[in-house]
Amino acid sequence: MKKHYFKTVLLLIIGLWLCNPPCISQVNVSGELHDLAKMKNGVRNRRVSSYDRSGNNRDHLKDIKPGETRTIAEISGAGVINHIWITIAPGPDRLCRNDIIIRMYWDGNEYPSVESPIGPFFGQGWNEQYNYASFPLSAGPGNGTGLSSYFTMPFAKGARIEIENQTNEKIDAFYFYVDYLEMKKLPEDMGRFHAWYNHELTEALPEGETEWGVTGKEGENKTGENNYVFADIQGKGHFVGINYYVHCPTPMWYGEGDDMWFIDGETTPSMIGTGTEDFFNTSWCPKEVFSHPYFGYPRVNNDIGWLGRTHVYRFFINDPVFFEKSLKATIEHGHNNNLTLDMASVAYWYQDKANVLPKAPTKEERRLKPMINSTDIHKWRHEWRKNKGNGSTLWGNE
């Protein structure tokens, strides 16, 4: 009981911090530990859910056709969404969660401040499902079937959440909760939550994939040119997290890429990292499932070397990245951007007002790449043998 109690308190504290770290003492809709027993005035719990209005047990939206958009929550006035839960049928074997789009609109705006495939938003890469547990987001249990968010999402003049079915299948059942606090007026300095999905099939260098100097000399990258961009933000705010998905078509380590941050219009990055795994608080090319509230590897490749799919995340709970005018957050795809990788990400941040997101990738642009298998590798070997004169006793490392 005590463990559950303190976990609940911690969630309240961090949810508030994510929204507005410098002004935590000004907000009385949630509390610090010593403030938990204080009575609150002018706040009321509200919920929008998919419950059966007839009183029966069919507690879901049904028959959402391909190409159809449904609004799941339309809220007026001021408030703070503090919990979202979703589950969907059928499963990924028939219904691609990479092609169901979730959008969130704040303060009556016609443009979304959140736009992402629903799987990647909640920490489910590609069209896969697996258990995932971080501080603000989770998927599971039930092998990643229950999708939850505890991000704090304030609004002053209304909120709207919608889903769009871009799959080729009908959504038979869509269950959801949207829990929020209703109030007459938001506290001062409450930011607006944003999330953006990006995807890119990166390009190797003209001289090839020279990682670790295996096939040629490694080059240099001081400017961040051609880095993968996971956040491109205009305005004032603070960056609070990323879900990062990489599909590697080679057994070579994919993570020599450094993170580079351009703050407030910088042409040279003021923050530069030392490697992908270092950016995500890990080390030495990890390949094991690991879960921490702020960072982890919920999905790792089980193939040869680092061939295959990996999902890694990091949330900047105690160390948000602040910006006054803009933020461009990037990472190399291999050292000096020398690898072809299928990369995707969802970035999460707050701004002083709801803002327009960069263009979202289309369904075709985010189409999943197939897995490399043993047959493909044998074909590579065949071409290598021919290149080596097709000797009958060639082993493979000559």
| Cβ 114 vs Cβ 195: under 8 Å | yes
- What's the one-letter identity of residue 5? Y
176-210 burial code (b ≥16 CB/10 A, e <16): bbbbbbebeebbeebbbbbbbbbbbbbebbeeebb
Structure tokens at 131: 């258990």
Output the pTM of the full model. Answer: 0.91
Around Cβ 44, how many Cβ atoms within 10 Å? 11
* pLDDT at 33 (0 to 100): 65
Closest-CA residue to 292 (of 105, 108, 135) = 135
Structure tokens at 139: 């998927």
Per residue of the chain (398 residues), give pLDDT as tens: 444 434 444 444 444 444 444 333 333 344 456 677 888 888 999 999 999 999 999 999 999 999 999 999 999 999 999 999 999 999 999 999 999 999 999 999 999 999 999 999 999 999 999 999 999 999 999 899 999 999 999 999 999 999 999 999 999 999 999 999 999 999 989 999 999 999 999 999 999 999 999 999 999 999 999 999 999 999 999 999 999 999 999 999 999 999 999 999 999 999 999 999 999 999 999 999 999 999 999 999 988 999 999 999 999 999 999 999 999 999 999 999 999 999 999 999 999 999 999 999 999 999 999 999 999 999 999 999 999 999 999 999 99
Alpha-carbon torsion angle 106, 108, 112, 113, nearest 10: -30
Length, in residues, of the chain: 398
| Cβ 97 vs Cβ 88: under 8 Å | yes
* pLDDT at 185 (0 to 100): 93
Structure tokens at 312: 């890694």
Q: What is the CATH number of domain 191-211+222-388?
A: 2.60.120.1390
Instruction: List every span in the chain annotated with CATH 2.60.120.1390.
Output: 41-188, 191-211+222-388
Quickly list DSSP for 213-231: GSSS-----SS-TTPEEEE
Around Cβ 42, how many Cβ atoms within 10 Å? 11
Residue 271 DSSP SS3: strand
* pLDDT at 212 (0 to 100): 96
The tens digit of pLDDT for each residue in 105-150 reads 999 999 999 999 999 999 999 999 999 999 999 999 989 999 999 9
Q: What is the CATH number of domain 41-188?
A: 2.60.120.1390
* pLDDT at 41 (0 to 100): 83
**End-to-end Cα separation, the chain, in angstroms:** 62
